[in-house]
Amino acid sequence: MSRHSVEIDGIRKAFGALTVLENISFDIHEGEFFSLLGPSGCGKTTLLRLIGGFEPPTSGRLLIDGQPVEGLPPEKRPTNTVFQSYALFPHLTVAENIGYGLRSLNMPKAEQEKVVKESLEMIRLSQLGGRKPHELSGGQRQRVALARALARRPKVLLLDEPLSALDKQLREEMQMELRRIQRQVGITFIFVTHDQEEALALSDRMAVMSAGRVLQIDAPDRIYEAPSSREVAAFIGSMN
């Protein structure tokens, strides 16, 4: 797990006069479940969007598997994103939603069907491939969004608060499901959350952020047991 998947080197991001990320440098390892944790407005989503190539940093460098992220067209980017809002196509079936992103790949039809079938098995929805999104529960829709994002086998999956719209019980179920699927596919996951409990439960390592900076990066138990500052302790300790 020591190979670098994502290298973030001296990143700064400003929107006009507002600096939202300052001097961010760290690496994410291949196959790691990595969380960006911090209060609302601290810059987590902005950092995720830079990693996803949705917009460029003001300065600094971002590499995935040694390649610069900047300037790649969407279909060539090594990342894929799962949003909180799921963003499934309402008029397509579950199977069609999962297969959608495969159509632009140079993949034979039989191979596409195989990927969709395996994806449905992975999310344990093999029986529901013919349903439309509105015929699914919230948790099922979230699993379909996850399977769709994974179908193209990105090198890195970006997840922006994907569970925050779910109620507590479903959220805990989906946390276990996410962890299981991440282990199964072995892809690097970068997970944005403001929920300490969730980050502690899910992550191999996590970055605790505040006001555009990274305060500490480590495994959850080490951050919990040895916070590097009072600010980290206060934020992590506010879990009850």
Nearest 5°: phi and psi at 194?
-105, 5
The residue among 15 and 89 lying less far from ligand ADP, judged by its C-beta, is 15
Least separation in angstroms between residue 190's CB and ligand ADP is 13
Neighbours of 188 (CB within 10 A): 28
Question: Out of 11, 24, 28, 42, which residue is the one contacting ligand ADP (CB under 6 A)?
Answer: 42
45 forms part of the interface with ligand ADP (CB under 6 A): yes
Q: How many residues bind ligand ADP (CB under 6 A)?
A: 11
Which residue in 15, 83, 89, 164 binds ligand ADP (CB under 6 A)? 15
Look at residue 4 and give its three-state secondary structure: strand
Task: Assess 20 for contact with ligand ADP (CB under 6 A).
Answer: yes
- Which span sits near ligand ADP by CB under 6 A: 15-23, 63-71, 73-81, 84-92? 15-23
- Alpha-carbon distance of 167 to 129, in angstroms, equals 24
CA distance 86 to 103: 20
Helix axes 138-151, 168-185, angle to 10 degrees: 20
Please give the residue ranges that form the binding site for ligand ADP (CB under 6 A): 15, 18, 20, 38, 40-46
